[in-house]
Amino acid sequence: MVFILQTNKIYAHQPFKIIKSPTDITTIDLSDASVSHAFYGEFESTDEEIIFNLNNFSDNILKFSILIPDQEPENQIKENYLPELSIEKLSKSENQQESIKELYKANIRSTFYEPYSQMNLIRVISHQETLQNGSTIKVTLKSNGVLRYVFSVGSKEIFSSVYASGDTEYFNSSAQISWYINPINEIKPTQSPKDVNESKPTQTPTEINEDKLILPTEGITSPIETPELVLEQVDSVNTTQNRINTFAVVLGFLSIIVVIVVIVILLITYKFKGNKNGN
């Protein structure tokens, strides 16, 4: 369960992870979009699309937001690289079906701390309206760059039933934390999505020192020590120390043997001389 703060009120959301379809457009259906949900996702390139079919509203209120982590690189991205959202409203009136399309682009940056999931978030798109009876909404979320995002919808706090289906799965607390602390890519705020996703030649040491972007796909490792690297270094030190200790034990054992041999030789020599003098 995750709680999203909006308009000075905390709403408890059912948390879900968006699972990208490898073949078709990723699609998620909600059988009651008035129930509060939070869908966690990642855009890894431009022009990715996620579709949410909001098939029913028990309170006839459409309420949604797009949130991003208040962390680098997302909190440094320019507005034109933030995702955009379009909705298609289908409603029936006097036996006629009406269709209205609307486009929403990022135009706000409202930051807040969400205490239950312990996330700092930024709201970049927010909308609420009252719908006609029997309305259905098709939401299309489109990427303009690489980033993590949350699509939150609804406000009714219900946890006894599951309303989400399609390319999604339940997202537990530990998975949410992992999503929050692990950025997709190290990107600069001024870099275009096209630059992020194009392959580049391996940089020279001079270029690296000029503080230019280094992508993981370029095969250049970061000078920052990761926990895995630290563990490897500790293991290496421990192995070396063990070898030194083993060598010291063997050397001490050999020294004892040498002393014993010398003593035995001296005793034999002394006994031999004593026998000779007795004769």
Q: What is the pLDDT of residues 120-134, one digit of tens each?
A: 999 999 999 999 888
CA–CA separation, 132 and 135 (whole Å): 6
CA–CA separation, 19 and 88 (whole Å): 23
Query: Once rounded to an integer, what is the mean pLDDT over residues 255-269?
Result: 87
DSSP 8-state symbol, 22: S
Is 125:106 a contact under the CB 8 Å cutoff?
yes
Amino acid (1-letter code) at residue 275: N
CA distances from 166 to 53, 64, 269 (A): 10, 19, 94
Q: Which residues pair with 167 in a beta bridge?
A: none
CA–CA separation, 59 and 153 (whole Å): 13
- DSSP result, 87-127: EEEEEEETTEEEEEEEEE-----EEEEETTTTEEEEEEEEE
Of the pLDDT bands very low, low, confident and very high (cuts 50, 70, 90), residue 262 is confident
CA–CA separation, 68 and 84 (whole Å): 13
CA–CA separation, 64 and 55 (whole Å): 14
CA–CA separation, 39 and 272 (whole Å): 95
pLDDT of 4 strictly over 50:
no
Tokens 């999604």, located at residue:
168
CA–CA separation, 81 and 78 (whole Å): 6
Q: What is the pLDDT of residues 216-257, one digit of tens each?
A: 433 333 444 444 443 454 455 455 556 666 777 778 888 899
CA distances from 246 to 130, 162, 200 (A): 78, 62, 49
Q: What is the pLDDT of residues 171-196, one digit of tens each?
A: 999 999 999 999 986 544 444 444 54
pTM, full prediction? 0.63
